[in-house]
Amino acid sequence: MTRWLKFKIVQNPGCPQVATSEMRGDPRMRFSYFAFALALLSLSAGAQDKKETTPQPSTSVAINGQIIKGKVLEIDGKHYVAVEDLAQSLHGTIAYGDAQILLTLSKLPSGTGQSSSSQPASPIPQAPPSPMSSITAQPLETGSIKGTLTYFFDFHTGNKPDSGTKVWLVKGHAEIPANQNFIATSTALGTSANPQQYSANQHSTADENGNFELLDIPAGSYTLILQSAHTKWTLNDKRDFFGRGNGHNPRDSGGRVEFLAVIVKPGETAEASKDFGPNIDK
């Protein structure tokens, strides 16, 4: 027969109290444990909320004192700013192409203001260059042509400005025989049989002083075609087959037409003045 002995542990007042099996069964002890655990959970949750609500220091970027709006991301110790934010803050333009983003800033802000960032901003990574002919096309080197057009009025007055004279610029060599009708618009010129024989690169009209100017012309050889506003018919010239006789040829019936060969060089202005001589429309 098994016998069970019951012991009662008497706690020494000088030692920490130890919970016995009898004490654990006490409802008051169970309530104390529950209250202690609840207090620990409340403290842990409060500390976590405080950590999450603590504002983190923000980083900003300034270029020449101009603050860039938008977020700054930090990845692996490097800082990144959206190119769209740069374009908006610096009043620039942005274009998107194949594997390339082109950011154009007309003028960077000037100033000595210091950035308010808590950490120094790192350079913004740039995409490697790629061909974008439609966006990054280089401008052609160009030249210009100018001149003064006159005609002979009389022996007392001399020459006068041939204001209203029409001017066309044609690439390469151009010529229309005097026995052919001259047909022209602002974009093309030729004969009645072929009115678009030549394409006009540029078209202009002489001002009241007889002056004209053509700008932004790619370098090369051209023919300047002029139709006088104050003279008609072809001047007699024994060297010109079509100039023989009375000079009443179809090409010059609406205004005497002259052809000048011109060479345009980059950054230079070619001179192309012309005196049409007397009017023989009699």
Q: Of 12, 34, 50, which one is at a domain's C-terminal end?
A: 50
- Using pLDDT thresholds of 50, 70 and 90, give the confidence band for residue 148: very high
Q: Which two tokens stand for residue 163?
A: 């204001």
The pLDDT of residue 75: 84
Q: Quick check: 132 pLDDT over 60? A: no
Same domain, 258 and 181: yes
Q: How far is the C-alpha of 206 from the C-alpha of 147, rounded, in Å? A: 9
Q: How far is the C-alpha of 170 from the C-alpha of 222, rounded, in Å? A: 6
Report pTM. Answer: 0.49
Residue 5 lies in a domain: no
**pLDDT > 90: what percent of the chain?**
36
Q: The CATH number of the domain where 148 resides is what? A: 2.60.40.10
Q: What's the structural domain count of the chain? A: 3
Same domain, 160 and 237: yes
The pLDDT of residue 264: 94
- Using pLDDT thresholds of 50, 70 and 90, give the confidence band for residue 73: confident
Range of 97's domain?
58-126
Strand ranges for the chain from DSSP E: 61-63, 66-68, 72-75, 78-81, 93-97, 100-104, 142-154, 158-161, 166-171, 182-184, 188-191, 198-205, 211-218, 220-227, 257-264, 269-271, 274-278
The pLDDT of residue 205: 95
Same domain, 106 and 224: no
- Per-residue pLDDT tens for 77-113? 787 878 788 778 777 777 776 667 777 776 665 654 4
The pLDDT of residue 83: 75
DSSP 32-84: HHHHHHHHHHHHHHHHHHHHHHSPPPP--EEETTEEEPS-EEEETTEEEE-HH
Residue 13 lies in a domain: no
Same domain, 242 and 148: yes
Residue 271 phi/psi, 5-degree rounding, is -90, 130
The residue assigned the tokens 């409340």 is 42
Q: Which two tokens stand for residue 241?
A: 């087959």
Q: Quick check: 15 pLDDT over 70? A: no
Residue 230 lies in a domain: yes
- Per-residue pLDDT tens for 159-213? 999 999 999 999 999 999 989 999 999 999 999 899 999 999 999 999 999 999 9
Chain-wide mean pLDDT for the chain? 75
